[in-house]
Amino acid sequence: MAVTVESYLKPEVIRQVARLDLRAKFIVEGFIAGLHASPFHGFSVEFSEHRKYTAGDNISDIDWNVYAKTDRFYIKKFQAETNLTGYLVMDLSGSMGYTYRQELTKFEYSISLAAALCYMMIHQQDAVGLIAFDRKVSQSLAPGSKRSQLGNILSLLAKLKPEGTTEIEASLHQVAGMLRHRSLVMLFSDLLGEPESILRAIHRLRHAGHDIIVFHILDEAEAQFPFEGMVRLEDNETHEIIEVDADAIKADYLEEVEQFRAKYRTDCIRTRVDYVPLHTGMPFDKALMSYLLTRQARA
């Protein structure tokens, strides 16, 4: 049965998520409120209003046209633009196509999250684009803020298929080279690779001034290991099959998963990257709402 883009955009998610402001942390209005001038003066600012000149103000900000009419000094006040540019960055590795007993694979779960975020950004008149990668960036859609962009992105998402191997570090370095302006980068991946190398690529994006949200998505079975007895496990990317005693390895496995997540969580906190651990057994709309509310409260 063909998958329609509408199936990824549930009405309850639209109603809930549209009320939130994803930009709360990203926008610098609060930061510049106490400064004499915007740090983005002449770049990403817009004229707001006038105020009287006071000692210490920058003379270059005086509106001489107003002075000619009133014989008084007034300063032009500026504010940061409220619009931002976001990129949905999707991992197309074969492992993202895995599901044990859930309705959605990790990739389909990611699409549900991405669709909700895309809808919200378009609703806020923010520009949003799409980048998908496996061993390298294989698909990209330039950012746009028109209503038609939502359909463009969802149509492309519905056509993407996770398969084969991936090079997350190399692909993220390629993404960093593609971004010309400060952006909000939303990464959807199971991050199955060498954490140190993947984090190096995330650091590069962060060092370039981008705001980053890492949605770390595992299958419920990967996160909770519900298996019993002897089981055959297959690697989705290499197709290697191993047979293990689930009862004997469960405790060690869960400890490894926790350490795996903790590595990303600790590093992301240190570098001010938002880290969101999820698994496919979690209702994605509730998980997303909880995260966005936390993000908004921190701003």
Total domains present in the chain: 2
Share of the chain above pLDDT 90, in %: 43
User: Distance of CA 161 to CAs 80, 110, 158, 219, 237, Å?
Assistant: 39, 12, 8, 17, 13
Do 278 and 177 sit in the same domain of this protein? yes
How far is it, in rounded angstroms, from Cα 207 to Cα 227? Answer: 41
Indicate if 160 and 126 belong to the same structural domain.
yes
Question: Cα–Cα distance between 269 and 58 in angstroms, integer?
Answer: 37
Residues 251 and 145 in one domain: yes
Higher-scoring residue by pLDDT: 36, 179: 179
CB atoms within 10 A of CB 92: 22
The pLDDT value given to residue 46: 45
Q: Does 184 share its domain with 262?
A: yes
> Higher pLDDT residue, 66 or 94?
94
Assess whether 186 and 293 both reside in one domain: yes
d(CA 10, CA 115): 9
Q: For residue 219, give both structure tokens.
A: 């299958």
Q: 60 and 149 in one domain?
A: no
Of 42-51, 161-170, 181-190, 250-259, the poorest mean pLDDT is in 42-51
DSSP string, 13-27: HHHHHTTS-TTTTT-
Please calculate the CA angle 73-75-78 and round it to the nearest 5 degrees: 170
pLDDT tens-digit series, residues 145-171: 998 898 888 888 888 899 888 999 999
Does one domain contain both 54 and 10? no
pLDDT tens for each residue of 226-242: 888 888 877 766 778 88
The band of 29, judged by pLDDT with boundaries at 50, 70 and 90, is very low
* AA letter at 40: F
CATH of the domain at 291: 3.40.50.410
Structure tokens at 78: 């500026």
Confidence of residue 247 (pLDDT cuts 50, 70, 90): confident
Per the CB < 8 A criterion, the answer to whether 214 and 201 are in contact is no
CA distance 164 to 290: 33
Residue 58 and residue 150 in one domain: no
Separation between Cα atoms, residue 145 and residue 148, nearest integer Å: 8
If asked whether residues 76 and 87 sit together in one domain, one would say no
Closest residue by Cα to residue 97 from 219, 6, 4: 219
31-35: long-range contacts, CB 8 A cutoff, minimum separation 24: 32/79, 32/80
pLDDT band at 24 (very low <50, low <70, confident <90, very high): very low
Co-location of 124 and 257 in the same domain: yes
User: How far, in Å, CA of 75 to CA of 64, rounded?
Assistant: 9
- According to DSSP, the residues that pair with 62 across neighbouring strands are 75
